[in-house]
Amino acid sequence: MKQTSPTILTPQQWTMADRLKALAFGGRKRGTLGGSLVNDMASLGKTIMLCGDCQGKFDWRRHQYYSVWRYEHQPVTGPCDVCRVQVTGNDGRLFIHESVRPKAWATPDEQKARRQTMVRIANTRY
């Protein structure tokens, strides 16, 4: 009978940078198609950034994503997740999954409601 050694678990202090690094997607492996990476990211609910050429191939509504560009016209900068081209200015599109969107992004209507709430709280007399 083979004897196994016990596993010792030690508590570790995680910093915010460590947590964010763990949430980041590793990127596509060499030899795989960019479309399969986007499908993998969509199935995991990760944020997707695409260039103008690649964004037409991604059906963001079917995958339950929120298109930042379509509703708010916010430019993004960074590498495209499909073709790895550096995206700058108005050419980039950012897609946020609906499950994490309330925590990560506020729509203009939500921002307005928050401002009105803050004004209402500030004007309340105690």
Taking the domains of the chain in order of start, what are their residue ranges?
A: 31-123
Report yes or no: 94 and 73 within 8 Å, Cβ to Cβ.
no
Phi, psi (rounded to 5 degrees) for 81: -75, -15
Stronger pLDDT, 3 or 85, i.e. the higher one:
85
Report yes or no: 50 and 82 within 8 Å, Cβ to Cβ.
yes
C-alpha to C-alpha distance for 87 and 49, rounded to whole angstroms: 9
In single-letter form, the type of residue at position 25 comes to: F
pLDDT tens, 38-77? 888 888 888 888 888 888 888 888 888 888 777 666 778 8
**Exposure pattern of 98-125 as b/e (b: 16+ CB <10 Å)?**
eeebeeebeeeeeeeeeeeeeeeeeeee
pLDDT category of residue 89 using cuts at 50, 70 and 90: confident
Report yes or no: 81 and 50 within 8 Å, Cβ to Cβ.
yes
DSSP 7: P
Q: Tell whether the model's pLDDT for residue 22 goes beyond 80.
A: no
What is the model's pLDDT at position 92? 84
C-alpha to C-alpha distance for 67 and 126, rounded to whole angstroms: 42
Report yes or no: 81 and 41 within 8 Å, Cβ to Cβ.
yes
